[in-house]
Amino acid sequence: MNSTVSDLKHTGKCIIVSAPSGAGKTTIVQYLLREIPKLAFSISACSREPRGREIAGVDYHYFSVEEFKKKIADNEFVEWQEVYPNNFYGTLKSEIEKNWAAGKIVVFDVDAEGGINLKKIFGESSLSVFVKPPSLFVLEQRLRNRRTESEENIRMRLEKANRELMRADKFDYTLMNDNLEKACKEAKDLVAEFIARP
């Protein structure tokens, strides 16, 4: 579910990083933000409660299901989706506007469907990267090691991961994360090259 960017006041470049849950995309995005000062994180919106040590306005903008649906009706999202029943995620137009107005390159940390939607919207002014785990088994171990997910949630995430892995070819680059240090460096090189393009 997505809109167009025709009503955005500013234009600029953006980096889209997607992966199945547990593949390491957030760690890679945090590394890029530390290493490249011109980047600014686009904080996604969601309709769930904060998990673990997550902080409102830092990790996500948290809304109730009703608030989220009102924002959809008011056309406040560039893209949004219902990932699981009544579990919404989306990208607020205001978040992109704020960063582009400050002369920043916006970085998105989104699931595969969100990444594909954003690439369709931003086209050539975006770089889309899919972070791939070494295997579904490794992904399952990473999810279990978090100790934040119920058995049912882990099963749902693995089913979703399987579907997402089949869509990796919709991205500009697939980045294998079998060695985090190497994956971070490779991501930094890709982003630096993209920023340098006219």
Q: Which residues contact 78 (CB under 8 A, 6 or more apart)?
A: 2, 3, 5, 8, 90, 91, 92, 93, 96, 118, 121
Q: Tell me the percentage of the chain whose pLDDT exceeds 90.
A: 62
Q: Which residue has the tokens 């994180």?
A: 41
Q: Which residues pair with 77 in a beta bridge?
A: 92
Q: Which of 18, 25, 46 is nearest to 142 (CA)?
A: 25
Using 50, 70 and 90 to split pLDDT, how confident is the model at 84?
confident
At 111 the pLDDT is 86
At 145 the pLDDT is 83
Q: Which of 114, 112, 110, 164 is nearest to 136 (CA)?
A: 164
Q: Please give the domain boundaries of the chain with CATH numbers for all domains.
A: 14-188 (3.40.50.300)
At 2 the pLDDT is 47
Mean pLDDT score across all residues of the chain = 89
Q: Who has greater pLDDT, 157 or 7?
A: 157
Query: How is residue 105 written in tokens?
Result: 């390159």
Does the pLDDT value for residue 5 go beyond 80?
Answer: no
Longest dimension (CA), the chain: 48
Is 148 exposed, middle or buried (CB count within 10 Å of its CB: 0-12, 13-18, 19+)?
exposed
Q: Which residues contact 26 (CB under 8 A, 6 or more apart)?
A: 109
